Structure 1
């Protein structure tokens, strides 16, 4: 037993060393993984691991009336509320919680808090870029799930047909959960529905919204913004939920979070608070991320790669850092995905929205955090294109790509 256990530990340690070594020669080119800012992520917070804490500030009498209290936690609760206050200011919100561990955890918790069985909800369909798990989660919660109508030709929501759906089903909640999209679509047409609670998932756009490069969902009429902090934004794995107002729905959510989330693991919330020290860096990140994606899309087209292009139709629409590559079949898409992985380029093999079929999903959040600049894009496109040509391993090309990636990462020690 001891010998087997020792071998097991040795295998795990060897695997971790191998993965770390490989990661230094890889460039993440998908939109949902990122490199956390190591200046702030869990730096010296080891003493916070394993402790239980609330983000609620309570008087002594309120503590006495609870069923349980943990000693010496007031400092943490006070600090967390200071962090909440700073993030509320930036997000232009009145209330916020960061108790959630991931986006889907937040989805489940929030909708358990604000809905009842047989409530009607309308969501963004998966075929229009909605999250592939949202509908299943809501149906498991006993909700009646309807989906916005799609304009497949223009790769957007069909607004007029969706308005008719809203009038017909009268949903309690509208949830726009876009996990896919080469455009930041304008949903301000939803603002006319004052009596429907509207939530926007900003996980793919958080950095761009924070610094004002994208219109805030609040300015499009949404009542709340949900977002992860580890996709578009280079923070720890965590999710936040912020409410434009401290309204009835917010207090309902606040009253239930403690039931559904027993411990908020405060060390990563501290990281999110401390990261605001370097706010100007995120302004540059947002700008560079969008510019890099636009330039890479252009260069890949010049290299003959089949890019799905979309263009903003009005001023409130913006391009994102997502890039879609269309392939003829699943096999072609998977082979391309494997060739790029073998050479250190980490993309997504993906069933793309709008009936495009299987292809490759790319994104430049992590690569930009690692140090990728607009000047690097022509060579990056050439290296990606060269990797497409042959299924045979090319050691010369592999070495050229490895040198390119290491050179970029040396700029930030990512």
Structure 2
């Protein structure tokens, strides 16, 4: 029998199961976040079935009639985005960070131009490398090389600058999904400028920290453009943004965007605007607490005997921790074992299957502080080191999480 929904009640029942399940999980997935219910409600409007297609740098010419107020909603949201990210121009049409990155790359390169990016092995987002490897058309167009990395998943800046000077790439993509520390953007931007390369930054994971003013803003450090998500450390609805202080770059982006995204899901714009207002009010406190929680969790995991990366450098200055779990069977097996006990992390998908990524954004929104990180580390110890009965851990975790049903750093009506 085909497994399909047969009624609205069935949909409601399954959604209720999902909500209950996720409420009782310790969500440490660095690419997810808790969205304020007040903000979620803004996704439910007449906009959900409307088109906002446009031409022009910021939507001057609309392709559909009926955009009288849609245009105003979009313009005011654009202005909020530009204000919080300190950018002169932005494009809100990408429906995710990945599409935002692809649009930027297509806008700024020609076939066979050398592109240097953080590859999957180093927790890169896999923007260009996987496309060139798996899609023959892209393999004929893209010429991509890996940015050199050293231990603790950090860029080997000295070696990279030398490679920039020697290879003269057309485009450099900094940023990763495993970024523990700020990168040497200013130094790399200077080297890129000397060879005439564009430097763009994938800030998908750190966009919330940037908006909160607790992590360096690549645009202020010399990046030509930034693309990012709005649903990782930034607690907004899923979507993507392209930012730049260069009108020329944004005009190029504007030319390619309609071929990638026409209907750009404008129902998310009011929710995005509300999330920015929330970040304006709470972003700094929220961001600082995320970093405190990350550092405390890393220290407590280290005390339990886990191999946490970058101990010598203080473990992390971002919303995430990386931990080598080779001794437990690799990242894939480890993440699935933790999942069975209600602990959600990310395995090293596409990489060497060595490290898991542990994020603190959602648990920070839930109300956990530095003092609670020892208990979080204890759950890891019980599952991975002590090999305790799964049901015992699940029950204790569920009881523990009931203490943290707060919606911290959330704007109210």
Instruction: Give the TM-score category using the shorter length.
Output: 0.7 to 0.9
Q: Is the 8 A contact 1:30 1:348 kept in 2?
A: yes
Tell me if the contact between 2:55 and 2:63 (Cα under 8 Å) persists in the aligned partners. no
- Residues 14-413 of structure 1: matches in 2 within 5 Å? 14-43=13-42, 45-54=44-53, 69-137=63-131, 140-141=137-138, 142-152=141-151, 155-192=153-190, 193-194=192-193, 195-246=196-247, 248-278=248-278, 279-312=280-313, 319-329=317-327, 331=329, 333-350=331-348, 358-410=354-406
Q: 1:37 to 1:57 in 2, by over 3 A?
A: farther
Q: What is the number of equivalent residue pairs in this alignment?
A: 399
Distance 1:411 1:273 in 2: 19
Report the Cα offset of residue 57 of structure 1: 7.2
- 8 Å contact from structure 1 (residues 42, 267) kept in 2: no
Call closer, same or farther: CA 1:80–1:337 in 2, change over 3 Å. same
Contact kept? 1:56, 1:77, Cα under 8 Å: no
Q: Is the 8 A contact 1:351 1:358 kept in 2?
A: no
User: What secondary structure does 1:323 align onto?
Assistant: strand
Aligned 8 A contact 2:185 2:221 in 1: yes
SS of equivalent residue, structure 1 residue 100: coil
Tell me which moved more, 37-46 or 330-339: 330-339
**Residues 119 and 410 of structure 1: CA distance in aligned 2, closer, same or farther (over 3 Å):** same
CA deviation after TM superposition for structure 1 residue 126, in Å: 2.8
TM-score (normalised: structure 2) = 0.87
- Structure 2: distance between partners of 1:197 and 1:411: 40
Shift of 1:332: 5.5
CA distance in 2, matches of 1:388, 1:297: 16
Residue by residue over 1:63-87, the C-alpha shift from the partner in whole angstroms, topping out at 9 and shown as x without a partner, is: 6xxxx84222022112211221222
Task: Deviation per CA, 1:377-407: give whole Å up to 9, x if none.
Answer: 2222223322224445254443221111122
Question: 2:101–2:127: 8 Å Cα contact kept in structure 1?
Answer: no
Deviations 1:332-388 (Å, cap 9, x if unpaired)?
Answer: 6445433422222111222697x7x52322110111122222232222222332222
Alignment gaps of 5+ in structure 2: none
- 1:104 match: secondary structure: helix
Larger radius of gyration between Structure 1 and Structure 2? 1
The offset of 1:24, in angstroms, is 1.6
What residue ranges of structure 1 are gaps of 5+ in the alignment?
none
CA 1:111–1:396: 2 relative to 1, 3 Å: closer
CA distance 1:6–1:114, change in 2 (3 Å): closer
